[in-house]
Amino acid sequence: MSDDFPPLSLNVPEPGCRPGDTPDFSDFEIPRAGAVKRPPVDVEPDEIREMAFSIVRVLNKDGEAVGDWAGALTPEELREGLRHMLTLRAFDARMLIAQRQGKTSFYMQHLGEEAISCAFATALQPGDMNFPTYRQAGLLIAGGYPMLTMMNQIYSNAEDPLHGRQLPIMYSSKEHGFFSISGNLGTQFVQSVGWAMASAISGDTKIATGWIGDGSTAESDFHSAMVFASTYDAPVVLNIVNNQWAISTFQGIARGGVGTFAARGHGFGIASIRVDGNDYLAVHAVAKWAAERARRGYGPTLIEHVTYRAGGHSTSDDPSAYRDKNEAAAWPLGDPIERLKKHLITIGEWSEERHKQAEAEVMDTVIATQKKAEAIGTLGDGQAPSPRDMFEGVYETMPPHLIRQRQEAGY
């Protein structure tokens, strides 16, 4: 009987476009802005199942904010948001150069994804805690964390708050609600659920947010996070940043046969929403909705932010080896800065001139800050941090064997 069956073969998903091919996003369904309704925050997850297959969008092609999800921000707040994104982009640009100049070992940029962390940050309250990956520095920038300190960390200099122990960009700031970044993908996703559970156990009103990349949803910690969030109805917002790529691997390898990453939530009864990650207004509105849902005790939300990683994965990566150079330009959701700029101009709250001026101001600030940081020191310039710092903080109190080792090392 088994002769009746033709031989099996392995299905290995492939991206639509490799170097030399013509980028083609025509399969990518984009609902028009305003099309997705805004449900009440206590909606049953089952009732919004379709939201995992659509995309919440606020800004339309003409730069207008339309639909239920519009109207959450004042022009002043939007200009502030624009400034945050411009700052993050300028910061990235300068740090990339600094890395190439050998002032630090490594850098990771946000190009094209600035709206997500910048818009999200302003939807939270003081005391909430983010468990970010390495591509959410906008949470710090929009959250008012000193840029100088970020640079000190990147340069591992004498004022690096992490004392040179961590890779560049692996920031940590409890005060600013930014959990210590781990180089291990996914681990922090379930930790965010634990933090949220702790808030619930303590009768607090704070919420946590977890962050993960499209590729990293395949990690087991993603599952742990979903299981625990679902079982204990944890007050957490779980964010997937789907920037289409995981180093050289396109999102189809992690996503498999399902339509979207957001749909992963359905297997857990978790409210699941997709949002246009390049639309500052949409991200902010969805973030606010999910944060309120969590804070009111209606449980977790899974958000898939649909975006595109316009730059290389990191300074160690050259994407031209695995995707076409024109793919970023062909990306149909556009550039988040351009889109917010256009909106502000459309509603008469901004102009090309003001934009140019803002860009210049932002760049000036970044460069001035960079000068300060470099005056303190850069990696390997022979300044601090001290080797002693490597022995400290392994434990609260240094145990005898580490004291002996420190002495053996001569510090």
Partner 1 sequence: MTMIEAIREAHDVAMAADDRVVVFGEDVGFFGGVFRCTAGLQAKYGKSRCFDTPINESGIVGTAIGMAAYGLKPVIEIQFADYVYPAYDQIVSEAARLRHRSNADFTCPIVIRMPTGGGIFGGQTHSQSPEALFTHVSGLKVVVPSNPRDAKGLLLASIEDPDPVIFLEPKRLYNGPFDGYHDRPVTSWKKHPKGEVPEGNEIVPLGKASITREGSDVTVLAYGTMVYVAEAAAEATGVDAEVIDLRTLLPLDLDTITASVEKTGRCVIVHEATRTSGFGAELMCLVQESCFYHLEAPMIRVTGWDTPYPHAQEWEYFPGPARVGEALKKVMEG
Ligand X SMILES: Cc1ncc(C[n+]2csc(CCOP(=O)(O)OP(=O)(O)O)c2C)c(N)n1
Residues lying near ligand X in the complex (CB under 6 A) are found at 135, 183-185, 213-216, 241, 243, 245-247, 309, 313
The whole-angstrom separation of Cα 97 and Cα 82 is 23
User: Applying CB under 8 A, does 205 fall inside the site for partner 1?
Assistant: no
For residue 131, the minimal CB distance to ligand X (Å) is 14
Which of 151, 190, 310, 373 touches partner 1 by CB under 8 A?
Answer: 190
- Name which of 113, 356, 121 is nearest 244 in CA terms: 113
Own/partner contacts of 367-375, CB < 8 Å, gap of 24 or more, are: 367/94, 369/147, 369/148, 369/151, 370/94, 370/98, 370/151, 372/148, 372/151, 373/148, 373/151, 373/152, 373/154, 373/155, 373/157, 374/103, 374/155
Return the one option of its own copies, Mg ion, partner 1, none that residue 26 interacts with (CB less than 5 to 8 A, by type). none
Rounded-to-integer distance, Cα 47 and Cα 274, Å: 15
Selected from 45, 112, 132, 194, the binder of partner 1 by CB under 8 A is 194
Amino acid identity of residue 383, one-letter, is Q
Helix (H/G/I), strand (E/B), else coil: 59: strand
Q: Which residues bind its own copies (CB under 8 A)?
A: 1-2, 5-13, 45, 125, 127, 197, 199-201, 203-206, 218, 220-224, 227, 229-233, 235, 252-259, 263-270, 295-297, 299
Q: Considering the complex, what minimum distance in angstroms separates the CB of residue 313 from partner 1?
A: 9
Minimum CB distance to Mg ion smaller for 41 or for 170: 170
213 contributes a contact to Mg ion by CB under 5 A = yes
Partner that binds at residue 191, options Mg ion, ligand X, partner 1, none, CB closer than 5 to 8 Å by kind: partner 1
User: Which of 67, 265 has the CB closer to its own copies?
Assistant: 265
113 lies in the binding site for Mg ion (CB under 5 A): no
Nearer to its own copies, 102 or 259 (CB): 259
Whether residue 272 contacts residue 300, with contact meaning beta carbons closer than 8 Å, is answered with: no
C-alpha distances (whole Å) from 343 to each of 78, 150, 351, 358 are 9, 30, 10, 16
Residue nearest Mg ion (C-beta atom) = 213
Q: Which helix (H) or strand (E) holds 128?
A: none
Pair 166, 379: CB distance under 8 Å: no
In the chain the first and final C-alpha atoms are separated, in Å, by 75
- Is residue 211 a contact point for partner 1 (CB under 8 A)? no
C-beta of 34 vs 177, nearer to partner 1: 177
The reply on whether position 311 binds partner 1 by CB under 8 A is no
Total binding residues for Mg ion by CB under 5 A?
A: 5
